[in-house]
């Protein structure tokens, strides 16, 4: 479904739409549940037959035969219960997995600005705990609703054939019960939504504390983090208070109703016996059917709770699925093919959230195979410009073209396939070194991965590790040094081998010796490729054919190293400052 359909369709229709792929399991679950309901309806009738006919007429053989059949049916009922429990939950889990799959795919389609404004803990909560109740709702919801309705209606029909007046009394009580149940469901639903929002906030705080545990230890701020965690934990202790209050009112009302129903039936039935309008054996049968009522009525009450919890999560799921990515492929977007690497930035302005302007009327042309260095003070717009080229964000004004094609007219996937990026903040997955390198091209052979590692000057380091390429790098690569992490990320790019390179402080974490080796490898890799180098350390841009200085969102100057030194502008100031610092350090 499209995001528009998620916005227009009701959550119930969306939810039921996921049943179709698993209709076989659903049919088995429902058939077995109906079998259980039929057996429950039959037992009171067998009891009535025994009391009226078999025992008074001393048909003991038939009586024990029927009792043996009842036992056999209860064995069958136990087997059907097993099927319902096992296959029903399997069905529910598969529905939940399908919903989670679609949610994850949609999250992958969301633009960078979505993740700028949504914390990881909140999104994790929507992918996990929010969807957990959907398993129970998918399994128990239809089953409990249908079988309970059949059991109650069937029991009422049988009771009406025995004594319609008493059946009418019972039938009059059931709507009252249902009104109470579903009137309280609204309060439970609202409370459940609040619980999920609070739990999402708690997950965010915990995720933040665990991610920053090394920083906390480095600053000796364990007490601060403990206090922050305690505050979140205290919030958790009260997060379900309103929901539990609503559930308590609901359960107490239900229990009062179920116990009162027995009292009403016995009282009315006793009065009818006194008036010779009812036989005591029929009253026993009615009591058995009231006991049969208890199970489906409890199921209906549980269904109300499942509905409240499940739809709270479902509504939050639909909310995200109905959110459009801000950066989308055009309807007629074509793949970017046979890329030469020409880049044209034409009158580009950009502001985050349409508010804070970062770039102002930037113009830049990069010839195929040219290496451009982008320098300037922090916050000047260097990284922002390089995030616009792969279309991580859309320009506010102007256009960016690759080989003459506006990047808004080609597919995002094809752009990303043709651009290799090494960022300053390297992210490694909690996997082996081999898999982290192969992430650059998932179908790469072992030989190609090894060759990429050699080019990135990480091969010898890997061989020195106990498990070699199968060494586990830890969460976000914490078991590797900063230089090793960056070289693994560089190896990915060697493996990907794209026609356009963007190096965002790609060698910032390397020592001088390794930096020199990597620089030579970059010089070789850059040949015949368009390369943009964002650099603070000006020693890394020796191979650049042109240097662009950006400050305050505007290109201030552009030229060769010597031209910019003679001009005496931003680049000249940065160069002399770094040289002075280097000289001071040597002295």
pLDDT digits (tens, 9 = 90+) for 46-95: 776 766 666 667 777 877 887 888 788 889 989 998 988 888 888 888 88
Query: d(Cα 166, Cα 158) in Å, to the nearest integer?
Result: 11
Check if the beta carbon of residue 114 is closer than 8 Å to that of residue 389.
Answer: no
Q: Contact at 8 Å (CB) between 321 and 105?
A: no
Instruction: Give the range with max mean pLDDT: 18-27, 476-485, 568-577.
Output: 18-27
How far apart CA 511 and CA 509 sit, in angstroms, is 7
pLDDT at position 581 over 70: no
513-558 pLDDT, tens digit per residue, is: 766 766 776 776 777 789 898 877 776 676 788 999 898 889 989 8
What's the pLDDT tens digit per position in 356-386?
Answer: 788 999 999 999 989 898 988 888 888 889 8
The yes-or-no verdict on residue 412 having pLDDT over 80 is: yes
- Please give the pLDDT value at position 174: 77
Instruction: Tell me the whole-structure pTM to 2 decimals.
Output: 0.72
pLDDT surpasses 80 at 244: no
pLDDT score of 411:
92
Place 345 in a pLDDT band, splitting at 50, 70 and 90.
very high
The residue to which tokens 């001009």 are assigned: 567
What whole-number distance in Å separates Cα of residue 498 and Cα of residue 496? 6
SS3 call for 114: helix
The CATH number of 3-321, from 1.10.3720.10, 3.10.300.10, 1.20.1560.10, 3.40.50.1000, is: 1.20.1560.10
- Say what the alpha-carbon torsion angle 212, 214, 215, 216 is, to the nearest 10 degrees: 80
Phi, psi dihedral angles at 278 (to 5 degrees)? -150, 140
- 166-188 pLDDT tens trace: 778 878 887 877 777 667 766 76
Element (H, E) at 255: helix 241-274
User: Which residues are 530's β-sheet partners?
Assistant: 500
Q: Where are the domains of the chain?
A: 3-321, 343-586
Question: Which residue is listed with tokens 């320009």?
Answer: 395
Q: Do domains 3-321 and 343-586 have the same CATH topology?
A: no
Q: Is the pLDDT of residue 584 over 90?
A: no
C-alpha angle 110/115/116, rounded to 5°? 130
| Strand 371-375, strand 530-534: pairing | parallel
Instruction: Report the alpha-carbon distance of residue 46 to residue 377 in Å, rounded.
Output: 89
Q: Is the pLDDT of residue 442 over 60?
A: yes
Considering all CA atoms of the chain, what is the largest pairwise distance in Å, rounded to the nearest integer?
Answer: 121
Supply the pLDDT for residue 475.
76
> How far apart, in whole angstroms, are the C-alpha atoms of residue 466 and residue 475?
18
Of the ranges 144-148, 185-189, 469-473, which is most confident?
Answer: 469-473
Q: Is 268 left (phi over 0), alpha (psi -120 to 50) or beta?
A: alpha
pLDDT given at position 346: 93
The residue among 95 and 506 whose pLDDT is bigger is: 95
Residue 586 has pLDDT above 60, yes or no: no
Question: Which CATH number does the domain 343-586 belong to among 1.10.510.10, 3.40.50.12710, 3.40.50.300, 2.60.120.260?
Answer: 3.40.50.300
For position 474, what pLDDT does the model report? Answer: 81
| Confidence label for 239 from pLDDT (cuts 50, 70 and 90) | low
pLDDT above 70: percentage of residues in the chain: 87
What DSSP character marks residue 323?
P
User: Closest Cα to residue 187, out of 313, 318, 312?
Assistant: 312
Q: Quick check: 350 and 399 in contact, CB under 8 A?
A: no
pLDDT digits (tens, 9 = 90+) for 273-287: 887 877 777 777 777
Could you count the other beta carbons within 10 Å of the beta carbon of residue 165?
A: 12
Confidence of residue 587 (pLDDT cuts 50, 70, 90): low
Residue with tokens 């097993």: 82
For 219, counting Cβ atoms within 10 Å of its Cβ (0-12 exposed, 13-18 middle, 19+ buried), the class is: exposed
**What are residue 398's phi and psi, to 5 degrees?**
90, -160
Residue 179: the pLDDT is 77
Average pLDDT over residues 299-320: 79
> Which pLDDT value is given to residue 210?
67
* Separation between Cα atoms, residue 39 and residue 51, nearest integer Å: 19
- The yes-or-no verdict on residue 189 having pLDDT over 70 is no
Q: Which residues pair with 359 in a beta bridge?
A: 350
pLDDT at 363: 93
Q: Is residue 408 over pLDDT 90?
A: yes
Read off the DSSP letter of residue 477. Answer: G
């Amino acid at each position: 479904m499209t995001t528009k359909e998620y916005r227009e369709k009701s959550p119930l229709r969306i939810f039921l739409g996921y049943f179709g792929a698993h209709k076989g399991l659903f049919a088995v679950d429902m058939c077995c549940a109906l079998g259980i309901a039929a057996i429950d309806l039959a037992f009171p009738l067998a009891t009535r037959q025994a009391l009226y006919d078999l025992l008074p007429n001393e048909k003991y053989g038939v009586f024990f035969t029927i009792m043996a059949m009842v036992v056999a049916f209860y064995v069958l009922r136990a087997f059907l219960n097993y099927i319902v429990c096992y296959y029903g939950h399997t069905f529910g889990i598969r529905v939940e997995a399908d919903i989670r799959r679609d949610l994850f795919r949609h999250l992958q389609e969301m633009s960078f600005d979505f993740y700028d404004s949504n914390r990881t803990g909140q999104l994790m909560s929507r992918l996990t705990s929010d969807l957990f109740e959907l398993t129970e709702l998918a399994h128990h919801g239809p089953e409990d609703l249908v079988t309970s309705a059949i059991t109650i209606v069937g029991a009422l029909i049988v009771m009406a054939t025995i004594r319609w007046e008493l059946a009418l009394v019972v039938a009059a009580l059931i709507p009252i019960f249902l009104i109470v149940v579903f009137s309280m469901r609204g309060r439970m639903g609202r409370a459940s939504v609040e619980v999920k929002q609070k739990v999402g906030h708690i997950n965010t705080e915990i995720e933040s504390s665990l991610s920053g545990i090394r920083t906390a230890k480095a600053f000796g701020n364990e007490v601060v983090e403990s206090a922050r965690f305690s505050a979140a934990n205290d919030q958790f202790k009260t997060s379900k208070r309103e929901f539990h209050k609503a559930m308590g009112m609901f359960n107490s009302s239900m229990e009062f109703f179920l116990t009162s129903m027995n009292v009403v039936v016995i009282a009315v039935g006793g009065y009818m016996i006194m008036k010779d309008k009812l036989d005591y054996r029929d009253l026993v049968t009615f009591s058995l059917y009231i006991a049969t009522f208890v199970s489906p009525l409890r199921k209906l009450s549980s269904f109300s709770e499942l509905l409240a919890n499940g739809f709270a999560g479902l509504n939050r799921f639909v909310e995200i699925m109905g959110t459009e990515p801000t950066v989308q492929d055009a309807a007629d977007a074509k793949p970017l093919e046979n890329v030469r690497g020409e880049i044209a930035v034409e009158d580009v302005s950009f502001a985050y959230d349409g508010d804070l302007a970062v770039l102002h009327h930037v113009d830049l042309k990069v010839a195929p195979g040219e290496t451009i260095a982008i320098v300037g003070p922090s916050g000047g717009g260097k990284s922002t410009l390089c995030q616009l080229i792969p279309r991580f964000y859309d320009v506010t004004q102007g256009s960016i073209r690759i080989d003459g094609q506006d990047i808004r007219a080609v597919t995002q996937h094809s752009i990303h396939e043709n651009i290799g990026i090494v960022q300053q903040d390297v992210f490694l997955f909690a996997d082996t070194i081999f898999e982290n390198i192969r992430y650059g091209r998932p179908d790469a052979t072992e030989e190609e991965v090894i060759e990429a590692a050699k080019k990135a000057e990480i091969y010898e380091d890997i061989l020195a590790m106990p498990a070699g390429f199968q060494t586990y790098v830890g969460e976000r690569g914490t078991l590797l040094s900063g230089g090793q992490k960056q070289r693994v990320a560089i190896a990915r790019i060697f493996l990907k081998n794209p026609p356009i390179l963007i190096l965002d402080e790609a060698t910032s974490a390397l020592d001088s010796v390794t930096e020199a080796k990597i620089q030579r490898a970059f010089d070789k890799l850059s040949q015949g490729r368009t390369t943009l180098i964002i650099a603070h350390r000006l020693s890394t841009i020796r191979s650049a054919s042109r240097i662009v200085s950006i400050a305050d969102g505007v290109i201030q100057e552009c030229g060769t190293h010597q031209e910019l030194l003679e001009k005496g502008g931003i680049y000249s100031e940065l160069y002399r400052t770094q040289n002075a610092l280097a000289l001071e350090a040597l002295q």
